[in-house]
Amino acid sequence: MSNSNIAISVENLAKSYLIGHQAAHKHETFREMMARSARKLVRSPLAAARGRVSRDDSIEEFWALKDVSFEVRCGEVLGVVGRNGAGKSTLLKILSRITEPTRGRAVIRGRVASLLEVGTGFHPDLTGRENIFLNGAILGMTRAEIKKKFDEIVAFAEVEKFLDTPVKRYSSGMYVRLAFAVAAHLEPEILVIDEVLAVGDVAFQRKCLGKMQNVAASGRTVLFVSHNLPAVVDLTARTLLLDGGALIASGPSREVVSRFLQMMQAPAAQTGDLSAFRRAHRTDGYVDIESVRVCGALPGAATVEFGGDLTIDVDLAVHRPVEEGIANIVLFNEQFEPITALASADAGFVYKLAPGRHTIHCNAGPVPLIPGEYRISIGVAENGGKLAWDVLEVLPGFRIDGTRNDAWMHWPGRPGVVLLEYCEWRAEDLNQGLHEDCDRQTGGSKLGIE
């Protein structure tokens, strides 16, 4: 493949940081303190730079990226997934020229617009209007080019009333709406989007995903990092999986996301640790989802007989009084396609809870889903609110067993989502009435033949 078709080329990219650790010397004597200081003075500077830790050392070397290599074609939409601390944000910061790599190189061909953190590229003391022009100038656009896109940016961001207000007074949601609108509409050749889209409400997230699809369709290159795995599968054709700073998988998005979820499933099923599935941005301080049980088992460990009741219990830690709380549960199939959404508000269940620990019970009744693996997303929020208190996305959920189902055993692997166990079948002979009519019309013709 010629270089002209490559938008991003990454070769053996690595990034290290020196991490300081505060040693505990609370009860040491003055003599011990002087001896420790003297040892530090004679320690090799080279050893310190390399992060070699001696007995009294308080510095170690942390490799956020370890020899990562890949290429992105022009017009490709590439997903990047991994656990918290896997190196995703470090990679994007290097590609956006915010930080330098320790070794290796990254070649970028084209103008890059990055949305990595809330407010990236914005000057807090400037107004929204001024920041739009500032960002456009940083991207190398003329004032006339920015003006041409200005109204479209403002309409998309929905911040008309606050356009002449300094952005330091914006809420995080307003910040992100404007930042995304600027990044997506000023037509960079390469658009880099990190997890910050999760700050927006659900309606705005849908609008952003739609805009990113339009950007991709126009032939521009997109790097998309998100914990919203169904969105990654839907939006990207190829995905990178990072773990511990290393690139451990690259390939079709559905396959890579499946591998990523399998990596996270074991600790969730064994210990109930759900931290890897928690949405990065949420309304802190009200309600946390502490644990989930599916049919009494930890996520990923539950097996439901076909036709059996699906029950989901959500344990909550409530930090402030909740007046009108709701819960939403989305079921996904193995292809990360949403099957259905269970909303407590549909049943008129809006809970009022005092601070403390509580459990929300949901009995979905018999579920006529075909046997297979299913995943769930769970969110708790204020009724009518735009941002959830807490969301766990695409958890390992449950398995539906088909070994006791005659229909499934007769035709396993059948297409579809729903399996109706019993259907009434009958055949009707439409020819019988036709024969009788012919007999009446021909009269005694049979006798004549005989």
Same-domain pairing of 142 and 60: no
Same-domain pairing of 198 and 304: no
What is the band of 407 on the pLDDT scale with cuts at 50, 70, 90?
Answer: confident
Same-domain pairing of 405 and 287: yes
Query: In the predicted model, is pLDDT for residue 292 greater than 80?
Result: yes
Q: Quote the mean pLDDT of the chain.
A: 80
Same-domain pairing of 118 and 31: no
Q: Is the pTM of this model over 0.75?
A: no
The verdict on residue 276 lying in a domain is no
Give 42-83 pLDDT, tens digit per residue: 555 544 444 444 445 556 778 889 999 999 998 889 999 988
DSSP 2-27: -GGGEEEEEEEEEEEEEEE-----TT
Same-domain pairing of 180 and 31: no
Q: Give the span between the Cα atoms of 433 and 450, in whole angstroms.
A: 24
Same-domain pairing of 137 and 190: yes
Answer with the residue of higher pLDDT: 135 or 344: 344
Residues 6+ apart with CB under 8 A from 142: none
Answer with the residue of higher pLDDT: 424 or 203: 424
* Structure tokens, 79: 């997903």
The verdict on residue 214 lying in a domain is yes
Q: Give the span between the Cα atoms of 201 and 385, in whole angstroms.
A: 9
Query: In the predicted model, is pLDDT for residue 333 greater than 80?
Result: yes
The verdict on residue 275 lying in a domain is no
Answer with the residue of higher pLDDT: 396 or 433: 396
What CATH code is carried by the domain that includes residue 396?
2.70.50.60
The verdict on residue 128 lying in a domain is yes
Q: Give the span between the Cα atoms of 126 and 93, in whole angstroms.
A: 24
The verdict on residue 347 lying in a domain is yes
Same-domain pairing of 95 and 225: yes
Q: Give the span between the Cα atoms of 278 and 392, in whole angstroms.
A: 5
Same-domain pairing of 328 and 226: no
pLDDT value, residue 364: 92
Same-domain pairing of 159 and 302: no
Same-domain pairing of 19 and 95: no
Same-domain pairing of 337 and 206: no
The verdict on residue 366 lying in a domain is yes
Residues 6+ apart with CB under 8 A from 63: 14, 15, 16, 245
Give 88-112 pLDDT, tens digit per residue: 888 988 988 888 999 999 998 887 8
Number of domains present in the structure of the chain = 3
Answer with the residue of higher pLDDT: 22 or 72: 72
**Range with the poorest average pLDDT among 46-60, 347-361, 366-380:** 46-60
Same-domain pairing of 370 and 447: yes
For range 130-142, the mean pLDDT: 83
Domain of 41, in residue numbers = 3-64
The verdict on residue 21 lying in a domain is yes
What CATH code is carried by the domain that includes residue 162?
3.40.50.300
* Structure tokens, 250: 């690259």
